Amino acid sequence: MKTLRALGLLIALAVGAACGGEDPAGPPGTLQRGLSSDPETLDQHKARSIQAADVIRDLGEGLVGYSATGELIPAAAERWEVSKDGLKYTFYLREGLRWSNGEALTADHFVAGMRRLVDPSTAAFYAAMLADLENAAGITSGDIPVSMLGVEAPDDRTVVLRLVQQTPYLVSLLTHPSTFPIHPETLAEHGDGFARPGKLVSNGAYTLDAWVPGSAISLKRNEHYWNNAATAIDAVNYHVMVQDNSELNRYRAGELHVTSTVPPDSFAQIRKDYGEQLRVAPYLGVVYFGYNLTKPPFKDNAALRQALSMAVDREQIALRVTGRGEAPAYSWVPQGVNNYEPPLSGFAALGKEEREQVARRLYKEAGYGPDKPLRIELRYNTNDTNRKIAVAVQSMWREILGVEATLVNEEFQVLLANMKDAEITQVFRSSWTGDYNDAHTFLSVLQSGSAANMPRYTSEEFDSLMALAARQVDLEQRKLYLEEAERVMLADYPVIPLYFFVSKHLVSPQIEGWGDNVLDYHYSQQLSFKAAQ
């Protein structure tokens, strides 16, 4: 019995220890939000994930911001000017900007932040965000000192950016957390570990109160924020909910006001149960199947690529397989991008029958038929939706063309490694989401030499149109060049765009101020509780 008693004592001690260190539920009126993965860091220059950026947008503030419905609005800068050649941007900061510790926020802090982003010793994932600033590329590759970056602060309230080429989307880049300012003293004191509770000094509507990795992040109101009077919600808790079903259960139990997503399988039921609380909106992201253009059978075989692309019934996939309001994709750039009208693939205008006929003819021209069917592998990363799409496409190809596609599912990191090698891949599933609201974030992916160019697409015509667009001062002309570039690319069929993403949230009826936007940004400072709350 002695051993049992000793064991009992051990257990009692452990249970006792359990009662310490609780994380707070927050005061009444705390906004409870779901977050689909744990942010890797809250260091604005080192963060990479969408989830980290979501939290950092509550903590920090850039020169420019977005309204709830996705229009650019002044943030730390009250106004800005662009030089005639489009290569010099001057931002004028608001008067009396302060950090969360009460110290003055000056233009130097923006300069310090941007320098830290491109500095090779920071090893920032988003260092390329400011690649169009003077000397940025040379600094990141380690050839030029960081002080040469094309950003300066002529006085405490003015930030000047100098560019090497036309970047009409520059202003929208400055909403991205990687361009946020940094509090130099905090960085000097704590080094790379500065983005922790008790250390982080922020300049946005909220400050960091607590962070239990893998569990929750608590924010509270920043009293020194310039627009503090307009911030309605005092405290925000982000709950890390990796499993979408667990998140849904917490919403159902009334423990969350806003979810980060909605589980795919229960979508129809949720729509029925929650009606208006379900917010589905177009999102800047495209899901596609890419061809490996460096190897047969797809290398130099545009007819075959076109045949496979045309045989995919995108309506069926968007409607029956994903079924959450996704738009079928006949272009690479999604609808709803600023100052851009995506051209559609030529066959989009054809009916289903005609498409299939053309596809069959092209397939035959490419040298395949019932006696010699195309045998390929279709790779995707293990995930229920991906599997359903792959199965659907496999059967479309088989029925219409007689293609024998083998499905290969791989863990995400394995698929990424295979795509990067471009050795064994033939057709693979991937996606791209925009970093800013401009067609460039999509089209630049397929430029020769782009690291994200998974199909290894190269086209001189496409590249030169992209280069022409980059030199254009006239926005209307630039738009035409970009659209022409996409038209050229689509006609080469390096990818099969399948559908465009939608953002999906459940938003409690207690919450006001929610707006749908293509970037899926939802600043907590723009939300509020209804008066009855």
Among the residue ranges 70-78, 117-125, 341-349, 354-362, the one whose residues contact another protein (CB under 8 A): 117-125
Among the residue ranges 6-14, 259-267, 361-369, 482-490, the one whose residues contact another protein (CB under 8 A): 6-14
Which three-class secondary structure state does DSSP give residue 391? helix
Among the residue ranges 92-100, 251-259, 343-351, 488-496, the one whose residues contact another protein (CB under 8 A): 251-259
By CB under 8 A, residue 28 contacts another protein? no
Of 253, 351, 372, 531, the one binding another protein (CB under 8 A) is 253
Helix residue ranges, H only, 373-411: 384-401
CB of 282 to another protein, least distance (A): 19
Look up tokens 């490996």; give the residue: 292
By CB under 8 A, residue 237 contacts another protein? yes
Of 249, 266, 338, 394, the one binding another protein (CB under 8 A) is 249
Considering only the C-alpha atoms of the chain, give the largest distance between any 2 of them, rounded to a whole number of Å.
88
- Closer by beta carbon to another protein, 240 or else 307: 240
141-147, Cβ contacts within 8 angstroms, sequence gap of 24 or more: 146/115, 146/118, 146/119, 147/115
Q: Closest Cα to residue 325, out of 333, 317, 336?
A: 317
Q: Find the binding residues for another protein in span 367-406 (CB under 8 A).
A: none
Which three-class secondary structure state does DSSP give residue 526? helix
Q: Find the binding residues for another protein in span 275-334 (CB under 8 A).
A: none
List the helix and strand counts (H, then E) for the chain: 16, 18
By CB under 8 A, residue 423 contacts another protein? no
Of 411, 464, 467, 533, the one binding another protein (CB under 8 A) is 411
Pairing of strands 427-433, 495-506: unpaired
Q: Find the binding residues for another protein in span 194-233 (CB under 8 A).
A: 194-196, 212-216
By CB under 8 A, residue 464 contacts another protein? no
- Closer by beta carbon to another protein, 77 or else 208: 208
Of 31, 32, 157, 459, the one binding another protein (CB under 8 A) is 32
Of 5, 19, 353, 371, the one binding another protein (CB under 8 A) is 19
Of 71, 185, 189, 192, the one binding another protein (CB under 8 A) is 192
Of 116, 224, 239, 456, the one binding another protein (CB under 8 A) is 239
- Contact of 124 with 114, CB cutoff 8 Å: no
CA distance 116 to 186: 14
What's the 3-state SS for 164-230? Answer: CCCCCCHHHHCCCHHHCCCCHHHHHHHHHHCCCCCCCCCCCCEEEEEEECCCEEEEEECCCCCCHHH
Binding mask 41-70 for another protein (x = CB under 8 A): x-x--xxx----------------------
Q: Find the binding residues for another protein in span 124-183 (CB under 8 A).
A: 124-125, 127-128, 140-142
- Contact of 449 with 406, CB cutoff 8 Å: no
By CB under 8 A, residue 241 contacts another protein? yes
By CB under 8 A, residue 448 contacts another protein? no
For 163, the token pair is 């560019």
By CB under 8 A, residue 363 contacts another protein? no
Of 94, 162, 250, 487, the one binding another protein (CB under 8 A) is 250
CA distance 472 to 132: 14
CA distance 233 to 221: 8
- Contact of 165 with 468, CB cutoff 8 Å: no
Of 51, 167, 175, 430, the one binding another protein (CB under 8 A) is 430
For 370, the token pair is 């019932």
CB of 511 to another protein, least distance (A): 17
- Closer by beta carbon to another protein, 15 or else 532: 15
Of 104, 230, 417, 424, the one binding another protein (CB under 8 A) is 417
Give the CA count within 13 Å in the CB-facing half-sphere of 220.
11
- Contact of 38 with 51, CB cutoff 8 Å: yes
